[in-house]
Structure 1
Amino acid sequence: MSSNQQHCRVWSRFERRKKDGSDLKFRIQNPPSSVQDSVNEFIVKYFLTEETFQKAAGISSNPEAVEEYRSILKEVIKSWTVVICCYDNDSEEVGDILGVSIVELAEGESFDSQLQLQMDENRKLFQIATECEKLVKPLMKDLKGYHSGRGIIVHPDCRCLGIATEFVKIRRQMINEQNVPMSCAWMTSYGSQKAAEKDNWETLFEITSEELGQKCGVVFKDPPDSFKFMFPRLLDDSSMSLSYGLKLSQAKSSWP
């Protein structure tokens, strides 16, 4: 078995019909080690150039900033949980990468504060991330070991096929299986917000793009009206869910 065919956990298989009537089969799985470089380049090619915060930071306009970003990504992604979407071609081989979803297990100090950044554009990106973290810190202070979203990226040719919605469903599945108390993420586009809403995610905190831009000294390009910090609504009555819901309700009531 080639390294590109190593057995990896498959989280979901699904079919979608394109506008031309053709049917496509997809699967979402853990990535084999052989495609890690391809995953990194997929993130650099699409997430770095198209995600709202990354665009505002201007990283893609500076080749040196892109290289610094790439080198940082190569290291930090080792500790993140990554799943990929590819065509389900009736074999275990991964062909083209069509989407990536990333979460980090947040257990303490954010990795952002530990980075030694040289390029102004990357510093600006992490300033935005730090500002967002500060906004929700009062709501998260009692939660330990939760999943923090680090990005959902879908290939331009495969957008509007529900892949992002499948990714957020799997984030819910992960916390249920792994006994993680929460999954949350800043949804920074209309697409990611709609995908989360389809899976019954709720908005815990919201800020207009204009206000966040003023706080960070940037102008966001084609942003949604607001950026939403979202989490999956809990659908069972387990003790963990009840405890989690109580903590969130207490946090909301204490927010100024």
Structure 2
Amino acid sequence: MSPNNQSCRVWSRFEGHRKNGSVLKLRIQEPPSTAQERVLDFVAKYFVTEETFQKAAGIYSNPDAIVEYREILHEVLKSWVVVICCEDTEEVGEILGVSAIEMVEDKSFGEIPIQTKELQNLIRIMIECEKLVKPLMKGFAVHHDGRGITVHPDYRGLGIASEFVKIRRLMVNEQNVSMSCAWMTSYGSQRAAEKDNWETLFEIAPEELGQKCGVVFKDPPLTFKLMFVRSSKQ
């Protein structure tokens, strides 16, 4: 393994099967320092334009909002736990997927000054979601909060999202925190969590959440689900 990857933990290796019968050898690992900017580019390119909450906020439609988003993301990524998917070769080549979590005790979105209305829309959605589930979270102290799973469009259907979800379970058990949770805002992420036996703590219809936040969700699943997995050590 190259010097750039020597200190980067590999969480799993697996195979992805394409419809044409070809097989890709893949791995989930910590990103090397040399790939940090590419991680930021990947999230800004795919997560912002395709994740349901981000789309409803309209970030991708305003260049100023994208710039502000990248500036904030550059800072918060420093405290998040990020893993990437890439082909299982010696070097870390193209990033095929990114998963991020944050270790949290208390969620607060009021500390970062937000300039663009699109980012304000996103924060409003997030705050409303936290208000809805706050009474249900009293039994969980420190836990992992999902900050997004993104897979490159050309590499979907290979089980990458499912592998990311499995890794979150491993992280919970290894770090001995109470649980890992995330708002699953697409059919794909919900199926991946269900496949790994995650539970649904709360769900809400997109129309209801949209009315509360003053936004319209495009092509949403039937419901948005806050799903979670408990530590097996609790």
Q: Same fold (TM over 0.5)?
A: yes
Aligned-pair identity in percent equals 68
Give the equivalent residue in structure 2 for 1:245.
Answer: none
Residue 11 of structure 1 and its aligned partner are, at CA, apart by 0.4
Poorly superposed stretches of 4+, deviation over 2 Å: 1-7
Match of 2:197 among 197, 200, 225: 200
Shift of 1:233: 5.5
CA offset at residue 107 of structure 1? 1.6
| 2:166 alignment counterpart | 169
1:83 counterpart SS class: strand
Distance 1:50 1:6 in 2: 33
Bigger helix fraction: 1
172, 183, 188: which one aligns with 1:186: 183
- Equivalent residue number for residue 112 of structure 2: 115
Aligned residue for 1:26, secondary structure, equals strand
Higher alpha-carbon Rg: 1
Report the Cα offset of residue 142 of structure 1.
3.5
| 1:13–1:28 Cα contact (<8 Å) kept | yes
Structure 2 counterpart SS, 1:79: coil
**What displacement does 1:232 show?**
1.8
Q: Which residue does 1:150 correspond to in 2?
A: 147
1:223 — aligned with what?
Answer: 220
CA distance in 2 between partners of 1:157 and 1:144 (Å): 38
1:115, 1:190 → 2: CA distance? 31
Q: CA deviation at 1:3?
A: 5.9
Matched residue of 1:97: which SS? coil
Is residue 52 from structure 1 mapped to residue 52 from structure 2 by the alignment? yes
Instruction: Report which stretch shifted further, 133-142 or 178-187.
Output: 133-142
Partners in 2 of 1:53 and 1:71 — Cα distance? Answer: 19
Distance 2:64 2:123 in 1: 16
| Structure 1 alignment gaps of length 5 or more | 241-256
Matches of 1:27 and 1:162, distance apart in 2: 11
Task: Output the amino acid matched with 2:69.
Answer: Y
Residue among 101, 104, 118 paired with 1:103: 101
Q: Are positions 1:22 and 2:22 aligned together?
A: yes
* SS of aligned partner of 2:149: strand
After TM superposition, give the deviation of residue 5 of structure 1 in Å: 3.2
SS at match of 2:77: helix
Residues 198-243 of structure 1: per-residue CA shift (max 9 Å, x gap): 0001111000011101111111000001000001266x5x5x2xxx
Q: Residue deviations 1:116-169, cap 9 Å, x none? A: 000000000010000001111001123221000000000001111111000010
CA RMSD of aligned residues (A): 1.3
Whether the 8 Å CA contact 1:9–1:30 is kept in 2: the answer is: yes
Shift of 1:26: 0.3
Is the CA contact 1:3–1:32 (under 8 Å) kept in the aligned structure 2?
no
- SS state of the match for residue 221, structure 2? coil
TM-score in terms of structure 1 length: 0.88
Residue 82 of structure 2 is aligned to residue 85 of structure 1: no
CA contact (8 A) 1:8 1:29 kept: yes
Amino acid at match of 1:82: V
Aligned length: 234
Partners of 1:52 and 1:220 within 8 A in 2: yes
Structure 2 residue identity aligned to 1:200: N
Cross-structure match for 2:70: 70
Q: Determine if contact 1:68/1:119 at 8 Å carries over to the other structure.
A: yes
Change (3 A) 1:233 1:143: closer
Q: What's the offset of the Cα at 1:79?
A: 0.4
What is the match of residue 33 of structure 2?
33
**Mapped partners of 1:103, 1:155: distance in 2:** 18
CA distance in 2 between partners of 1:97 and 1:122 (Å):
26
Look up the equivalent residue of 2:100 and give its one-letter code: I
- Residue number in structure 2 paired with 1:126: 123
